[in-house]
């Protein structure tokens, strides 16, 4: 896709700190890392987000994220890893080309990943359960 920075990075037209590459994916270091070693798993083909990505490419991508997490744990001695994946502006997506964040974590680090929890009545839970379950049939 024209003018998509991650298309250009994934295809190697724009340089990046690449840590892995195959025919379908490139894994790079995030330019503004949340923590040391923060990686992005980027498909070479352009998909806007998780609702549009080809499911086989998605399966391959999550496996590469798993391998990346294992590599981070070994290489950086990370205690944990966050896998994040934002879809849509309201969800914090700033680059509209699907990608998976793989963020190494260390005990006592200052990374903040949080959300406030909402409260629902039992009736509200039942209603929302029905609505979403219906769409999953």
Binding site for Zn ion (CB under 5 A): 1, 4, 6-7, 46, 97
Q: Which of residues 66-105 bind ligand AMP (CB under 6 A)?
A: 86, 92-95
Nearer to ligand AMP by Cβ, of 17 and 124: the residue is: 17
Q: Which of residues 6-45 bind ligand AMP (CB under 6 A)?
A: 16, 28, 30-32, 40
- Residue 95 binding target from Zn ion, ligand AMP, none, CB below 5 to 8 Å by type: ligand AMP
Minimum gap (Å) between residue 97 Cβ and Zn ion: 3
**C-alpha dihedral (70, 75, 79, 85), degrees to nearest 10:** -50
Instruction: Tell me the torsion sign for CA atoms 58, 60, 63, 67.
Output: negative
Per the DSSP assignment, residues forming a β-bridge with 25 are 43
Distance CA 96, CA 4 (A): 8
Which is nearest to 32 in space by CA: 103, 88, 134, 82?
103
Interface residues with ligand AMP (CB under 6 A) are 5, 16, 28, 30-32, 40, 86, 92-95
Active site (catalytic) residues = 99
């Amino acid at each position: 896709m024209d003018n998509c920075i991650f298309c250009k990075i994934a295809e190697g037209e724009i340089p990046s700190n690449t840590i892995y590459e195959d025919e379908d994916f490139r894994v790079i270091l995030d330019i503004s890392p949340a923590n040391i070693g923060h990686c992005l798993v980027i498909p070479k083909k352009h998909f806007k987000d998780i609702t549009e990505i080809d499911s086989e490419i998605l399966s391959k991508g999550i496996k590469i994220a798993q391998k990346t997490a294992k590599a981070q744990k070994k290489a950086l001695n990370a205690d944990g890893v966050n896998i994040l994946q934002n879809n849509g502006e309201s969800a914090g997506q700033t680059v509209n080309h699907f990608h998976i964040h793989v963020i190494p974590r260390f005990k006592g680090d200052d990374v903040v990943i949080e959300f406030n929890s909402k409260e629902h009545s039992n009736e509200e839970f039942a209603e929302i359960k029905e609505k979403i379950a219906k769409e999953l049939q």
